[in-house]
Structure 1
């Protein structure tokens, strides 16, 4: 008897020692998840498994591998699983835990011997292979068989008016198993509810648009329910946009668009798996533990309940609710604890700010710099492109008179390389690449300091010259220097200038034309000692029409011998600067050998000093025809003034439109320099605002570039025969998701019509998109309808865009197609879109018109020929 007790004592003693050793030892665990780290419950699975081991007193090192079964084929999954097993063998793994069907079945199908050598604990298997499990004594775990009858009856209870059930599957093995189970349960359910209908959609057999139209369009989905036997990435997209409630048998679909999942709780399942694995590590045989069915229940997504107007209290008794906002979940607790928590937070924040202010500031700045660095680089490149597109030369300085940026127009004006970009001279002092002279004095630094100190713009004085530092060449210049402000402070100066050599000559020509009816202007090049005449004038003197330049000696050979002495004397006085304005009347020999009286007037342009000469300009005129010449010069003056006004209007409009989003970008970027006072949502909102304004700048740049191509005549048009209905459907598909809330985009075309137009499809789509975008700005409810109609006159087609927006007044309609005109100055845009549309339509040999009624809507009509000759 005593001997028996002694043996029993020894056995118990060794069992305690083994258990103690297992408790002290650290085990290596391989945790195989079927999906990715972006799955909603992957962190809950990791946490639950770790807690299961911890509560059981087992020390473990858990290595988690993600199979990503929704992405790979089964053959690829087996290759990936063998790699997992090889790495696990190197770590000397003691036990494997699998989550969901894919990881478990791929583990035993991959061909590696590791799952046959060490224990395997599985959980959340929907469709267990009993023969496979029975054949492996080292396997145990939990199963969670889906019950579609319970799901159908709960869906019928919550949505009694939705009586059409859509079953969405794919071609995978698990989806096929789920479909079989669902059909069996459906037969039972339909016997009790014969008024219900069911359709099956296969995502790999049906077209994507067909499934989306059935589920995501309100007109189709209002009476439907969606059942998903197996969740897939496609369902993640459809579920988030579905207008019908989605019921699934896998909790992986929660927060991805699933209204309700009938499944076991992920965290609890992983916790129980950890406890069961701990028993195996302590010495219990997996066969003794066996296979257990997990407890399942309904899990609802709070946001989906809110979307389908289902009262959470109505379903709370039948399951649990996830994704619930903290305020709703702990409303009464917040109300009770808010004052104390607020006081504690204030005290904590003050204390933390004092202790960690310097370190926190440095860390936040580094994080912010990493987040916005790429965005700032992109923004800087966009700003550079804007300034490079300006035709006038632009250069910016900081308040210390260091160069910051130069645009390509200025570099070309100064004959400097422009390929290196606008920042090659950044950091150099003002005056390093050019100087501004007036009356022999360099005035560049003086003007910059004046703008920096007064904060007011300064015009370059008349008669000023820009001198190139690298070549000593100079030319007359006009422009202004304006201050650059940020948050009320002057942070730099912007200098815009243009070479007015041609304008100065035109001005001198015009002044003389006002006095003496000019006919032919001329110029004397001091460096080459040659006269330059307009093409065609010298033909009257016997030269070929292409000749425009003759030397002074050739010019003197055409002068009558009796007049030559006086002409030479007066011209020499002009060259020496003694006479700045001269008038010469003399006879010249024409092509017929006869002498004709001409009058030459000259004007001398002085150089950097009063003693140096820059150029001599003049006009030669016939007394008999001075009236006609005067009229021609007036027209030349008006055209020059109109061109200058257009340039000024362009700069004024662009300065305003660029400054508005730029201020927002700079302002919110400054706020991001210290985010300690903002929440994560506020920081995200700041970044979103920056992105939005960058988009506005990009749209403005596109309009400017289109306008530039139109002005320069470089906008290309490629005419070919195109299917008009297909073109308009393409526009509809791209625009319908961009509509404002409460506005519906409709496409109206003749039924069964296959209309073809010979046109440029890219430019025509640009016109239609611009008209739809313009309508969306002023339509806050109702619809925007576009399409085409047959014109009464054969060979023509009408394309229309009409809305139910605010409408346009009669005054607005008169100016609607003018450049820079905006009906509402508070809307975004530069007022170029409709002007660009009108130009494109005219190039397409068509016309565009508008009709509108204030408060009722607007209709734009584009009339195009079917074939362009």
Structure 2
């Protein structure tokens, strides 16, 4: 029953779960922080809202009686505070906690964590179906094998443990493990105030296990036994802050069997990671807090990992290659840990610098050679230059220092669209014929001339350079502007260019087509039965790349949607049977954790020299966007057809709605003008009926006109309105059409609610919603309310117990011309008008309804529209 209550409470209670973590050691111990971190991150990963309280017992400074008193005092403090679960960390706290026999030790779920020496009798005695936990039991035999691996033959093992509950348990475990080693002799003694005598080794062929039961008063005597002897090592089976300096003070190597006190001078050993212990305890706690019975969660043993301290490895000259595989080395300098990587980076950097240097030298020499050649060419006579220019297909224009043309070829004349003969432009200022600009910079060509005079012999026109003629015709060009030298003196410039407008457009279109469409080349390797794709395919799609850019055919076929797999095989067989030389296959493949539509263009090479006659290859591209657009177009088409259908229904309804009152008006008008003798009462009824029918016609026409005006962007005229008063006036004016079997309820604030809105449209909105409920509610109630939400939004609602609206119809009721009942009165525009008005006011309108039970229409307006009553008072 207790376990069942735990599960029930954890499911129903939505408040944060209160967890108490009791530690044996101090808050400043590093391993305690790691354990706390593991617990909290486990709760975060499970999205569990918890309030974790840590308590540090500091057992090293307390007697057993003091520890139990402190725990009792702590647990008593929770008699009036909520507590859902207790986590007990480390051995000292574990034994003292249950020794208190406090009611909370068996009435609350308890998880023990980081327990090295679990005493089964203790758990069985105190377990009321509420205890489970994590153990990291030391393996002394494994530690012995590690010592042999590190130091060679071992003759002597010093095991140190204090005379406490956990210490005695540690000694028992050590003796149980190590006695199984062949030729092992275990000798146990204690240190007393009258001194300690060394024990004589009886045989060199035996392994002596020395167990030291010590107390804190005579601990100093133990230091004398820590003097290093060949083929020996020490183990501190139960860590204590009091003895944490022993590894530093002695000269014998210490190996570890648990994680407490890491970094105190011990080399390392097989132990559990504190973060992992805390995380596993947190996962257990999360299961219990979310309803899993404690009794169904077994005690879990954490895997022990080889963990070592770099400084101690150096101290004892232990090479890394002697350590077990997958060892974790802490405190290793970055330079040593990543030495190979640093060497690779330095070598690569050196090679890169050499490559860059050689490349720059090559480019520099080539540039010098090109400049020297250009200088030699510029020394030719102008007549020779003109002959040369005529043979050049690119446009070439020579200019002197005064920026006047002295030579040009026919290609330049054609490119610039000049109509006169070439000789008529000789001696003409260049800027009266054309100019070269760059992204709106009209001084671009002048800047080039100035830079060539000072620094360069040649200048490459930048991308986007545009030539503009005197007739304001512009073209994209590429080319160079070079200096003319005569006897080492600048005598002018040569401009060579070509029109690249068409080429640029084609290139951009090609880039857009390939880039935006994400087209990738692929081929099939029949020998290896793999598909080979471009590297960019893997990078952009996220498909796993094995480094060879290949996907095995079995894997690729597994990516194909099951419904498309048959079509893929059929089409591939079709082309392999030579029934077609190329085809396009559209399939869905699993990419980015979902299926996407792709188009594969497939063709083949028929080459008898190949081991297989057919080699498939082609292009593929994602057509997901196209498919989605196609689907959206289909939906839009369906909506258009639905809208057209609704419009037809609307016109039919309007025909009926207008014809019916018109027939009544004409009929009763004829009766009034006939010669038949009617009483005054009958004539009054006729007139009243005619007026009612006129009102109905006027309402229909006004709805159509209102919707048209609002959708056409007719401006609203905001003013300060008393929303409470408007609601009450509307209810009073519309109450006459209310069924006598319907109870009208109001839920309005005591103080008036003011809103900044167009009062005419606000009244229309409220009237339409209220009339809509009146129309479909024949018995039960109608409630109209207005409240201010916590986030200061204004909420107006109309709720009724009428006919209700089906879920399918709820998605359409705000559409124009839509009516849930085609035979009901009205044109199906009322709710459409409401939706448009609310959206124009910056709000939202929604409906909640159950067919046959009633509906609730809610309008939410932003806080900016609300004006406090105090504003009105001011």
TM range (shorter): 0.3 to 0.5
TM-score normalised by length of structure 1: 0.35
Larger Rg: 2
